[in-house]
Structure 1
Amino acid sequence: MANNVITSASLVLASEILSETILAISEAMNATKSVLIQKENFNKFSTYLERIAFVLRELFKSDIKTSVSLKNAVEILNGEIKVAKQLALNCGNRNKVYLLFNCRRIVKHLESSTKEISQALGLISLACLDDPSSVINDEVSMLCKNMLETEYHLTVAEEEILEKIELGIEERNVDQSYANDLIIRIAEAVGISTQQAELKREFEELKSEMDNNELREDVVSALQMERIIALLSKADMITTYKEKEIKYLTKRSSLGRQELEPLQSFYCPITGDIMVDPVETSYGHTFERSAIQKWLADCNLCPITKSPLNASLLRTNKTLQKSIEEWKDRNTMITIASMKVKIQSDKEQEVLHSLSMLQDLCVERELHKEWMIMEDYVPILVGLLGVKNFEIRKHALDILCTLAKDNEDNKDRIAKVDNAVEFIVRSLARKVEESKLALQLLLELSRNGIVRNLIGRVQGSILLLVTMSSSDDTQAAKDAHELLENLSFDDQNVVQMAKANYFGPLLHFLSSGTESVQMMMAKTLSEVELTDHSKLSLFKDGAQGPLMQLLSHGDIEMKKVAVKSLQNLSSIPQNGQQMIREGAVGPLFELLYCHRLSSSSFRKQVAATIAHLAISNTSPEEDEMQVSIFESEEDVFKLFSLVSLTGLDVQESILQIFIVTCQSSSGFEIRTALRQISATRVLVQLCELDDCAVRANAVKLFCCLTQDGDEKTFLEHVGLKCIETLFKIAKTSNKVDEIASAMGIVSNLPKNPQMNEWLLDANALQVIFTCLVNGDTDTSSYKREVVENAAKALCRFTLPTNQEWQRKVAEAGFIPVLVQLLVSGTVFTKQNVAISLKQFSESSSSLSREAKKQVVFFGCCFASPEIVCPVHGGICTLESSFCLLEADAVKPLVRVLEEQNSACEASLDALLTLIEGEQLQRGSKVLVEANAIVPMIKLLSSLTPTLQEKALKALERMFRLVELKQKYGGSAELPLVDITQRGTSSMKSLAAKTLAHLNVLHDQSSFF
């Protein structure tokens, strides 16, 4: 009876384990389907799993007697299946490129797992041997045999990629093209796009894999991954120009200005020249490979020891080879940087010699061209195209051709230099040799869509190219013909002007023709679609004078045509500036105020023209002074009064005029004048309109007036209703700039309790939260200004003087969003985010809850110990104490600190809250762990006095701690000494005091 009970219980238990194992196999098979790398191997593995599931189901159906050994065998199999499932899940979740680099390990894991599972199956087979009714033993035996013999293989592409990676790491001097080719192979192997954005995203994910705890524990794998990343980072396909520039300038700034002499070990004892491919003999002597091979072909004795030497035993001296390469690169960097001064000198021979060296360096290595770009040589070389010396111009064109070839970014850089295309076109008309080089450069530039339009707009370019296309020089004719075909003209009138001087007769008849002809010419100018170049040419050739005369004509239709023409031509800032200087504003204002000519469409055109003139003041020529369109405050009052007296279409233009003038150099005076006439009251009313265009402009102008207004202005006109209107706009508007302006107004409102209460009553936190979250996750529909203004608006609710407001913000989930914005936000966003986090952190010390004492009874503890905050010494949470450590904000703040921009000081302020008062030692330890001390030391050399002083005060306190003084004191000595020599008197004393902590100065030093 007892045996029967045991058997029944065992049977039930074995059945449960079989069911669980079959379910685990199903889950493992599903996991293999999501694996995108090693698909063929995982499919083979999945086939085995399917056969195992079949065997187990048959076993489950049979009348086989259940034994302890069978139960144990199934349990072992269940465990091995779960291991295999985890392998498949890991491969399905991890970065595809990371998996590719580790495919050999994955194959080994698959083979090991397959063998382990087959052995577990073998145990099941053994457990069933005693049962003569078993029909599955043969199937299990065959399956075990197949699994033990199975092999998994890498694809040919995978093998080639891994071999190429190993070779690149071993060689260490592979160039950019090698890395780019490797990147493309990897992308094709794992099935990702070769677009730069996609590649960069994929490899950023790869870098994040390196932070994986499991990987970091495997030191060998971590080191290998770092080597791979270093190799791939040489590819420009996954590295932005800014990243390369920062890396280059950082390295170059550390080199000094003097070239280093080569070490004696760099010279080959046979040739006496610096070695390129050094090899070491069995006797430890190093020679240039080609030299020693030639020597040994004639004599098999070592040149130095005279002992027998076998050529097959020569080994590359990689350490020396790398040292020579680093020495060459260092000196080349210094050479390229130092030649800028020589090229810009007045000594023509020195300029020619330096240009010749640059040409050689361009040809020598692709990397040298990249360094020249980072040294900003393009504007210098373009400038040389205007000098008189033919040889200098020729060298400059040759180098620019080399830089532009097969490089879209460099084409853009050349074209963006002022007058660059004009200078190159001018060279087309010079000596044959120079003309050919200019043609080659223009042809190369014309392969860029943006640049090709610029070439056709240069006066005389088409005529010169047409002439060259019929040249006796076959290659030049071919190049000119190809360039002409590359040019795309977006305005046929430019072509007509270049070929037939179309605008010449038009301007002639505009100024001296009959009234009917003048009308026709003016109408042509008002209706024709003109390029910017055409508009500039027309004004340069005198179109403004006749059109201004037509403004004073008695015929209303003539006035309208003249205004429409001026509206068309004034869209170019240079033309608008010229119109202002030559007195066009007065007549236009007279027309706008004239009730006799008050048709809505005409007033709209006049207002739009004045708006163009106002806009031209926002981007003046560098050598010209801005001229305001308003002569007095009375002009401001007269124009703004029309806002209440005109239709919506005119209101829109008038508001645009005030928006741009408020942002000009005279903006402060305009804003002050508007506030004095209570413009805010009118704008508040316009914000409630249904007309989107007028409302949007009203909100923008309102935002301008809040930039520097006093509290009285706002408290007089801005109440709860106005705030609710602004938030309604922020939530419902489909115009991003309108939303940004609405949030800008909120961020600029006075920070008094009454205003804050109104904002909270209007659900300000919900709106701000939406702006921050959507701005961080949906950059396609939310521009950075929305997030920036929302981050600034939030600062008013995080002040430590009102912890109740702080708690509302924290409970609404803002703090994690703020920490994310420290990573993804703009500089201005990071600055305001850091301010909020600093204000939160100032309250943390007082809000950190004391940990509960553990109750121990008869040696037993009845409660788990609470985790104490390493800085505040109590229990911290995001919602209760707003702790930076709980928010994981310390490292992001340190990264902002390293950026050394306008957000840097706010980040430093936030971090320094961790070492306030008695928290010094605990907080310093946290800052050390976050690698914050080195960036703080760098701030000692900051050009911003307040930032430098804050860093100095903080380090003076922290260097009282022995461990910090010993670890970081050495790197701080030099900037501290510099402060004692150049700083203010108070900073000199504090720096000296810090040096005393570091035992560099005596406490009684005269510096005190």
Structure 2
Amino acid sequence: MPPPMMLPPSPGDSGARDMDDEDLVEELLATVNSARAFVDFRRTQRKECANLLRWLQLVLPLLEELRDSAPPLTEDAYHRLALLGRAFSAARRLLRSCHDGSKIFLALESEAVLGRFRSVYEKMNSALDGMPYSELAISDEVKEQVELMNAQLTRCKKRTDTQDIELSMDLMVILENRDDERNADSAILERLAKKLELQTLADLRAETMAIKKLINERNGQSGDCTKQIIELLNKFKEVAGVDEKNVLGEVSMTKSLDKCPSLMIPNDFLCPITLAIMTDPVIVASGQTYERRSIQKWLDSGERTCPKTRQPLSHLSLAPNYALKNLILQWCDKNKVELQKREPEPVAEQDEQQRGEDIPSLVEGLSSIHLDVQRKAVKRIRMLSKECPENRTLVADSGGIPALIGLLACRDKKVQENTVTSLLNLSIDESNKRHITRGGAIPLIIEILRNGSAEAQENSAATLFSLSMLDENKLTIGRLGGIAPLVELLRNGTVRGKKDAATAIFNLVLNQQNKARATQAGIVPALLKIIDDKALNMVDEALSIFLLLSSHSACCGEIGTPPFMEKLVRLIKEGTPKNKECALSVLLELGSKNKPLLVHALRFGLHEDLSKIAKTGTSRAQRKANSLIQLARKCY
């Protein structure tokens, strides 16, 4: 990668040129070509990166003709090309970030990153707008191509920033429900891991290194964003079955390393699985070294390959690596680093095999003619299916899904409750989602949602949410009448039930047809009631659903009323920073389609609040406030 280009001074400087005309053009070409070398990007920014690369590609012919003809550059032409160079450098930095940056960071800051793309487009557009083509020795064809590209950039920079609302909602649910370990949230984690491509050991290792780099770039400062990144990484590792939950390695939180944040740990000392300093290194058949506990867990899960090389292991023996252990101890002693003591293996692990052997007999008990046997079997399966992926697979392989679906119609409330919760746990696995759906469970779950006990209703809503992660199920649940009882639960359920209902409804109204169904079921007054109930602390969830509904014409008509505008204004003035972000997003969406509504909102003295948020709000709130200020100017 070439070094950062040296750019000429900006207008108002001395006007001296830092490099020759030919060197400037060569620097521009080198910057564009180095930016084009990035070919794989994080999924959340992949589309925008492809757009940026396409525009960089379109400007290449201009630079190549300038290089080949080598015309003397006027001051104006030189200045415009220098501005273009600044835009190219910003583009290269942005593409590099989207190529090898932390996937979690890019997801959490997706809207800010989108703003960086917009800034690059504005820089390129500004440079090309005043380009004196008549003074450059370029062909008419190249001139027309660049002018067409510049017109596209002009339209692009005016585009309203949008975000992946599903991704945003998933992140909000996971980060806000820190104490809720139910498998409904595990299902969201599964979807997030898939969307962010953080499902394999290799993915998680690379992400861990990217986060370490990010933390180092921030000089070890641990702001709220960094804490959220580490928290999410730990959750993804847990879902993937990776034992280590400390992104900085086992020793990184000790006092010794806290005092020496710049201390670099030799890579050979880190276990390839956990990326933590090894305390008991062992060698496997492939010749690679791992922490004993980590590689043993890998082998116990049924794996018979080397995690690092993917080579088949000729044997499963583990040989202690005493030489490396001594080197690690010497390094720790020299750098005054105290290794954490190994935690003893949990006693519960010795019972795993016995629990697995119990599952087939428990599945048989589900079909017993004796109610007591059914009660005990389904209660036990509920517990086992929550614990680990292996148990969920074994329940499904033993015929547990059809047997559980058969119990959904049981009149015993406790059996119903445990059955629907067992299906919730099993539905974490995508293959199980399909088996549950094909087995005809959805209408039975909807019936429990209508008439079951409070806990059964909560878990029915959570199960519908989990099943609705398959796009075809969104339409099925809506068509079978699942939205109306969810709205009823949102209106009159327990606090937990309201939260489950809101999450399920959000997922379902991602489908356009379900937006109309939700409106007909009375979702708007139910959400307004949620917003008014401050004790629930569900304002952000309600506004996120409103944001989705506002894209549907029928829903927009019901939402877009002066009283609702007044609620949004109140939240913008008095709400939490997150409330303000969400309220601004909804107001921007509605105001873009119906300017009189925005004018009505502005009558409540919103100008001053927008100006304040544009300067002191969160980064997302600032962008929304600025967009609203620009939109407001067009209303008068």
TM-score by length of structure 1 reads: 0.31
Higher relative contact order (CA 8 A, sep 6+): 2
Flag the structure with larger Rg: 1
TM-score, normalised via structure 2 length = 0.47
